[in-house]
């Protein structure tokens, strides 16, 4: 079977064997066909709708020490900040005015954000904006904690698996972090009833083509409602400072294959993709992504939340980002919609 036929089959069956995926990854002569197929599958379910999520980066304190991440514990080169509850609510006010109906509360694993502190924030947002979805992205927590946040009103949780290979996971993370716990957290989140997001970096150090294949098969098996996929980008104050960045092509191929395997998924065209290429986010949308997550964090804290180098939109107010994205999304042939943008069955 040639690559085009393999792509056709994955687009119809939403299922693939290892060998199929590997063949598509290795043959770049049909990339355009792959992206068009992913776009067609996305349009069948979501039309040209692009959902926007207002990202609020509430803290760059982190007790973890992931080798790739700019806000890792051992990075002494950044000053640390955390937003207060009133700060966060102000971000939501701005976001709501601009048409955001999902707020993503993201941060490092900061022990200050206990269950009580987070639950209070979630309740306040939901009280003020009952028509909005709240997504939490605060890393690994206990089952009890995930349950409390859910009861407080959190609708969704983002926790990328980062890599589906235990061996690879251990090369990206310090010894005290465990692959098993990451997997356990993801299963717990789904069980509790969150719309759950998993995902991985493309081109991270030590990653093989086989790892990428298994990342896709892992997503297929977990069936998360959301899948975040972006290129690895080196950060100068991490052990991976000299490592090569992930490529645009490989990231787009992963996004497109994810769309074929999970036609209903909400897939962001990531800021990291926009960072490695000026047209990265537009290309991501054309390869099957249907979500963008601009920043609502106060501009004065933006540069302190650098997970990787040269991150875009550092100086742009939320309103500017919103306009800029509107243009970019339309130039790619899609339309931003003002609604919660829930997963469609």
For residue 290, what are the contacts with CB-CB under 8 A and spacing of at least 6?
A: 42, 46, 49, 50, 51, 266, 267, 334
Residue 219 binds ligand 5AD, judged by CB under 6 A:
no
Residue 313 binds ligand FES, judged by CB under 6 A:
yes
- The listed partner (ligand 5AD, ligand FES, none) that binds 294, CB under 5 to 8 Å by sort, is ligand FES
Nearer to ligand 5AD, 128 or 166 (CB): 166
Residue 273 binds ligand FES, judged by CB under 6 A:
no
189 vs 142: CA distance, rounded Å = 10
Mark 281-300 with x for binding to ligand FES (rule: CB under 6 A) and - for no binding.
-------------x------
Stretch that binds ligand FES, among 69-77, 84-92, 110-118, 315-323 (CB under 6 A): 315-323
Residue 148 binds ligand 5AD, judged by CB under 6 A:
no
The structure tokens 């069980």 sit at: 191
159 vs 138: CA distance, rounded Å = 8
What is the rounded (10 degree) CA torsion for 140, 154, 194, 260? -90
> What's the token pair of residue 332?
């790619």
Beta carbons of 213 and 25 less than 8 angstroms apart: yes
Q: How far is the CB of 124 from ligand 5AD (least distance, A)?
A: 24
Residue 215 binds ligand 5AD, judged by CB under 6 A:
no
Reported as type and span, the H/E element at residue 87 is helix 85-97
Q: How far is the CB of 64 from ligand 5AD (least distance, A)?
A: 11
Beta carbons of 258 and 288 less than 8 angstroms apart: yes
Q: How far is the CB of 43 from ligand 5AD (least distance, A)?
A: 27
Of 42, 29, 1, the closest CA to residue 255 belongs to 42
Residue 68 binds ligand 5AD, judged by CB under 6 A:
yes
Nearer to ligand 5AD, 125 or 272 (CB): 272
Using CB under 6 A, pick the residue from 109, 162, 215, 225 that binds ligand 5AD.
162
Beta carbons of 231 and 251 less than 8 angstroms apart: yes
Residue 173: burial class (beta carbons within 10 Å; 0-12, 13-18, 19+)? buried
Residue 235 binds ligand 5AD, judged by CB under 6 A:
yes
Task: Give the residues lining the site for ligand FES (CB under 6 A).
Answer: 294, 313, 316, 320-321, 324-325
Residues that bind ligand 5AD (CB under 6 A): 68-69, 160, 162, 201, 230, 232-233, 235, 272, 307-308
């Amino acid at each position: 079977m040639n690559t085009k036929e393999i792509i056709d089959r994955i687009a119809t069956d939403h299922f693939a064997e290892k060998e199929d995926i590997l063949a598509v990854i290795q043959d770049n002569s049909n990339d355009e066909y792959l992206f068009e197929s992913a776009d067609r599958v996305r349009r069948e379910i979501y039309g040209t709708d692009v959902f926007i999520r207002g990202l609020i980066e509430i803290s760059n304190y982190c007790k973890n020490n992931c080798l790739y991440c700019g806000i890792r514990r051992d990075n002494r080169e950044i000053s640390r900040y955390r937003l207060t509850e009133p700060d966060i609510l102000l971000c939501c006010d701005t976001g709501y005015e601009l048409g955001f109906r999902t707020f993503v509360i993201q941060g490092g694993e900061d022990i200050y954000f206990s269950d009580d502190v987070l639950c209070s924030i979630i309740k306040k947002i939901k009280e003020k904006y009952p028509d909005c979805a709240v997504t939490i992205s605060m890393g690994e927590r206990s089952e009890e904690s995930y349950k409390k946040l859910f009861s407080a009103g959190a609708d969704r949780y983002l926790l990328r698996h980062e890599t589906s290979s235990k061996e690879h996971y251990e090369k990206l993370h310090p010894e005290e972090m465990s692959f098993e716990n990451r997997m356990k957290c993801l299963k717990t989140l789904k069980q509790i009833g969150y719309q759950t997001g998993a995902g991985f970096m493309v081109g991270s150090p030590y990653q093989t083509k086989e790892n990428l294949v298994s990342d896709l098969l892992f997503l297929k098996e977990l069936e998360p409602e959301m899948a975040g996929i972006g290129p690895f980008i080196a950060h100068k104050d991490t052990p991976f400072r000299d490592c090569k960045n992930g490529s645009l092509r490989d990231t787009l191929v992963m996004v497109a294959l994810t769309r074929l395997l999970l036609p209903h998924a909400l897939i962001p065209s990531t800021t990291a993709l926009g960072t490695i290429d000026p047209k990265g986010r537009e290309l991501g949308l054309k390869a099957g992504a249907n979500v963008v997550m601009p920043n609502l964090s106060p501009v004065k804290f933006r540069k302190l939340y650098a997970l990787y180098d040269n991150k875009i939109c550092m100086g742009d107010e939320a309103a500017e980002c919103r306009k800029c994205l509107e243009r970019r999304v339309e130039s790619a042939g899609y339309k931003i919609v003002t609604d919660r943008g829930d997963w469609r069955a």
